[in-house]
With several copies, the nearest count.
Chain A
Amino acid sequence: MTVQELPGAAPYRPTPPPAWKPRTDPAPLLPDPEPYRVLGTDAAAGFAPELLRRLYAELVRGRRYNTQATALTKQGRLAVYPSSTGQEACEVAAALVLEDRDWLFPSYRDTLAAVARGLDPVQALTLLRGDWHTGYDPHEHRVAPLCTPLATQLPHAVGLAHAARLKGDDVVALAMVGDGGTSEGDFHEALNFAAVWQAPVVFLVQNNGFAISVPLAKQTAAPSLAHKAVGYGMPGRLVDGNDAPAVHQVLSEAVARARRGGGPTLVEAVTYRIDAHTNADDATRYRGDGEVETWRAHDPIRLLEHELTERGLLDEDGVRQAAEDAETMAARLRERMNADAELDPMDLFAHVYAEQTAQLREQAAQLRAELDAEGDA
C-alpha cells in the first residue's frame, strides 16, 4: 500500500487531530511545596484537646516501646530490632486514623504502628524474636504480616482494598513503606493498580532520610516523594512526619477520601531515623552526629509536648502520668519477653499446606524420630 492507496486519500484536507484530554487534572494533584505543619501554626488551635492528648500519650508509649525493644536486643531476647525512634508520630498516626474494620499493612520497621493499633507487642515482636514468622493472626486486628521484602506489601494492600470495595464493604487499607522502598518496581505497580481501580488505599511513605546507609539523594531525584503521585493520577501530600497532629490530619483526610470512593492518596511524611538502621547497624559509617542532633531538636514528642504545655493542655502531672503509663507497658513487655518462647519443632511441617503431603509426613516422622533419639540420649 502506498500513500496514494490510503482509503479516501486524495484530496486530503487535514481535520482536527483526535481529541486529547488529560485523564486527570495534574494541577490539583501536585503536592504542596513545603511539608504541611500544624504545631507552632494557627492550625493547631483547630484540634480537639482529647486528640492531642491521646497522640501525646501514644507517642510517649511509642518511644518507650522503641527503647525497650532495643534493650531487649542487647539482652539477647530479640534477634534484631529496627527502631522507629524519631518516627513515632507517623507510626502512631497511621494506627489511630483507621477504623476497626480497616486494614494496616506495616513494613518490618512498623511494629509500633501494629502495637498502637492494638496488637499484643509480644506477638508483634515474634518475628524479631525468632520463634515464628508472623506472630499473630492478621485477621484479628486486621494487621497484615510485617513485611520484609521492601514494597511487596503495597500490592497486597491494593488488592485487599479492591476486594473489600467489590464486596461492598467500606474498608480502607493503609500501607506503610520507606523512602528506599519507593524505588522498587512493586511500589510503582501498586500505585498504578490503585489509581486505575480507584481502590480505597492510602500509601504512607516515611521518608526518614536513609535506606540503611543510602541517603535520599542517591535514591531519587524527584522534587519530593509525594510528587510521584502525579504520575499515577492520584493526589500527593507532603507532611512533616514529626508533627503528630499534621500527620494525623493528612492521613485522616486521605482515609476519608478513600472511604467515600475518592480513590488512593500518596502521603510522604518527612521524618528521620534517630537510631541506627537496626541494632546490628553502625550508623556512624554513613552520617554525622550534627544531622542527628538537628533532628533530635525536631523530636515529635517534644514538639507536641511544647504545644500542649503552652496551651495549658498538659502540666507536669500529665507528663509524669504519660511517662509512668509507658513505664508500666515497658516493664510488662520486658517481663513477658524474658519468658522463653514455647517452641514445637513439629510446627515446621504443620502449616506448609492445608493438608500435609505424604512427603512432609515422612519428613515430620524423621524429625520426630531424631528428637526422640536426642531426648533418649
Chain B
Amino acid sequence: MTTVANAAAKPATKPATMAQALQRAMRDAMAEDPSVHVMGEDVGTLGGVFRVTDGLAKEFGEDRCTDTPLAEAGILGTAVGMAMYGLRPVVEMQFDAFAYPAFEQLLSHVAKMRNRTRGAMPLPIVVRVPYGGGIGGVEHHSDSSEAYYMATPGLHVVTPATVADAYGLLRAAIASDDPVVFLEPKRLYWSKAQWSPDAPDPVEPIGRAVVRRTGRSATLVTYGPSLPVCMEAAEAARAEGWDLEVVDLRSLVPFDDETVCASVRRTGRAVVVHESTGFGGPGGEIAARVTERCFHHLEAPVLRVAGFDIPYPPPMLERHHLPGVDRILDAVARLQWEAQS
C-alpha cells in the first residue's frame, strides 16, 4: 500500500463533484500505470450510469476501459484472472444489489487468494460499488451492503464522504496490492466541494479515520452517506447545548480503533450512525469494539442510529428509514446526561 498523492505547488481550487473526483482518480491512475484497467457494465461508451467513468474509454481505448457482458460474477471472475497476470482491474458494479451475483467470486477467491497462496498471488483489484439510498431508487437500487464485506477477512472496505477523499481514497485503493471494496455513496455523487484536481490533497494510506468536527459532549461515529447528516446534526445540537465530535471512519476495514477510541475516551459518549440496517449491520461491530476498549470511559452505552431492520423501502417511504438529524438528536438525548459526572 502506498501513499499516492504528493503535495505540489497548489493551483487554485474550483468546485467539483464527487463523481468527477472519482473519475479523475481513475484517469490519473490509468495515465500513470498501464496495468490499471476499468471494467464493468456500461462503463465504456456510456461512461457508466452515474457517469463516473466518463471519457475513460475515449482516452485510453476500449481495452483499458471495457464494456463487459452483463454478468457480475463473470466480471469479477475475469478480473481475478487479469490480476493473476499482473493487471490492476478496477471493477464497477452498477448498483449495490447487483454485486450480489459476484459474492461467490468475492468471498471465495478475491478475499482469499493472497492467503491461500502464502502471498504468492496477491489480487490488486478494486471493486467499486455505488451504495446506499436517498436517491429515490426503486427496489434493489439502494442497499447498504457493507456488513457483508466487513464480515469477509481479506478485503479492505473503504468509503469516502468528501470530494477530496473520493479522489485520495480511490487512488490509494488502486495503488493497494490488496483487494479493496470501494463503496461510493450514491447520494453524494453530485455533492460539490472546492477542490483542485491538479493538486489533490495528500491522502493518508487506507485505514485512517478522521475527526471532521471536534466537540466535547459526545462522539458521532459515521461514514459515507451519513457524514453530511451527522455534521448537520452536530450543528443542530448546539442549540441543545451539546458540542458533538464527528468521526468519519473512511475505512471500515482496517478499522481505526485508535482515532475512534481516542475521541470516545475524550467525550465519554458515542452514537454510531449509518444507513445500513441496525441488526447485524456495521454499528454492532463498532459499538462492541469501542465498548471493549473504552468501557470505563463511557457514561452511557454506545447507541446506534441505523436503518430499520427491513428491506430497503420504496422511494416514497425512504425518508422514514434513513437516519436523519432528528433521529440522531434523539439518540444523543438518550445518552444519559442526567448521569453526567
Measured CB to CB, the residues of A under 8 A from B are 79-80, 127-134, 136-139, 144-145, 148-150, 152, 154-164, 166-167, 173, 180-181, 183-186, 188-190, 192-193, 196, 211-214, 218-220, 285-286, 341, 343, 345, 347-355, 357-360, 363, 367, 370-371
Contacts and interface: CB of A to CB of B under 8 A. Distances in A.
A156 B81 contact: yes
B113 to A, nearest CB: 7
A338 B315 CA distance: 17
A341 B316 contact: yes
Interface centre among A137, A167, A173, A357 (most CB of B within 10 A): A357
A258 B67 CA distance: 22
25 contacts: A145-B113, A148-B138, A148-B140, A149-B140, A152-B104, A156-B77, A158-B81, A159-B83, A163-B81, A163-B86, A183-B74, A184-B101, A185-B73, A186-B73, A186-B74, A186-B101, A212-B49, A213-B45, A219-B69, A285-B46, A348-B310, A353-B178, A354-B176, A363-B308, A370-B330
Contacts of B42: 211-214
Contacts of A139: 120-121
B308 A353 contact: no
Interface stretch (B9-17, B225-233, B239-247, B320-328): B320-328
A193 B119 contact: no
> What is the interface of chain A mostly: helix, strand, loop, or mixed?
helix
Given A158-B81, A196-B69, A370 B118 contact: no
Contact of B68 (A131, A154, A193): A193
A138 B120 contact: yes
B71 A193 contact: yes
Given A149-B140, A219-B69, A352 B117 contact: no
Nearest to A160: B81
Contacts of B109: 149, 152, 156
A214 B136 contact: no
Nearest to B80: A156
B254 A358 contact: yes
Interface residues of B, number: 83
B140 A352 contact: no
A109 B157 CA distance: 34
A211 B114 CA distance: 29
Interface centre among B73, B74, B121 (most CB of A within 10 A): B74
Given A149-B98, A285-B47, A193 B309 contact: no
Interface centre among B77, B120, B320 (most CB of A within 10 A): B77
Contact of B117 (A133, A160, A185): A133
A184 B70 contact: yes
B63 interface: yes
Given A132-B118, A185-B71, A354-B176, A190 B77 contact: yes
Given A158-B77, A345-B317, A348-B308, 17 more contacts: A129-B316, A133-B138, A137-B121, A145-B116, A155-B78, A159-B81, A159-B83, A160-B82, A180-B70, A185-B101, A190-B74, A213-B46, A214-B42, A348-B317, A348-B320, A357-B207, A357-B253
Interface in B297-320: 308-311, 313-317, 320
Nearest to A221: B69
B101 A159 contact: no
Contacts of A192: 69, 71, 74
A360 B76 CA distance: 27
B82 A130 contact: no
A137 to B, nearest CB: 4
B185 to A, nearest CB: 19
B117 A145 contact: yes
Nearest to A132: B314
A218 B81 contact: no
Interface string B114-151: 11111111100000000000001111110000000000
Contacts of A341: 316
Interface string B44-66: 11110100000000000001000
B108 A149 contact: yes
Contacts of B255: 359
Contacts of A359: 254-255, 257, 279, 309
